[in-house]
Amino acid sequence: MFTSNPAAFYNELGQIVFTCSDSGTLVPPDFPRIDLTNVEYESLVSWSSYVKDGVIHAKPDQPSPSHEWDWPTFSWVLNLSDAKTKAKDRITEARNVEEASGFIAFGKVLDSDSNAVQRISVAVQAANAVGESYIVDWACKDNTTITLDYWMMLALPAVMANAANTLHIKARTLKEQIDAAVSLEEINAIVW
């Protein structure tokens, strides 16, 4: 079967599966067709359109990234599971950012990015090698310093771990709230 003018071909669900712009194009005979003017053809975006009752319609805007097009109803339907997964990922990202943005130790904010964690680990090893006479002026996040003795340095990983654990507890609590949510509005209301 050959076309004689621009046309859109669609399946039983209303999905536009094929378009052609000129005459003489060989098309599969199994699909219903809608003849188009050249202007209609040029403006047709097949992935954002559907056919209902023999008429091409534009899909409405997708309400959220977690909405999926439902062909039988010609409407967007919320995939609640996907929305929850995306919200949990958002919480994890916020937790990771805060975890790497510093922690309070001995009244000062110290760096906690991956380089700082490695420096703390090395400094603890140095303190253990030197013993109780160990003392260091440690750079804080605001570029001031704090003097740390042997015992303070040995305590630093536990202080940092406690700060991280507090953030993980907060994230876990928020993710439990996301699991319990029954609508997109409830999910979106749960923020870090």
Can you give the residue range of the structural domain that contains 112? 80-188
More confident of the two residues 111 and 6: 111
Query: Do 46 and 97 belong to one domain?
Result: no
Asked whether residue 100 falls in the same domain as residue 182, the answer is yes
93 within domain boundaries: yes
Secondary structure of 117-136 in the HEC alphabet? Answer: HHHHHHHHHHHHHHCCCCEE
For residue 106, is it within any domain? yes
The pLDDT mean for the chain works out to 91
Considering the domain architecture, whether residues 25 and 92 belong to the same structural domain is answered as no
Query: Which residue type, as a one-letter code, is found at position 5?
Result: N
Whole-model pTM over 0.85:
no
Helix (H, G, I), strand (E, B) or coil at 169: helix
User: pLDDT higher for 117 or 29?
Assistant: 117
Question: Are 90 and 153 found together in one domain?
Answer: yes
* Residue 137 within any structural domain of the chain: yes
Q: How far apart are CA 190 and CA 53, in angstroms?
A: 41
The answer to whether position 164 is within a domain reads yes
| Interval 27-42: pLDDT, tens | 666 788 787 776 677 6
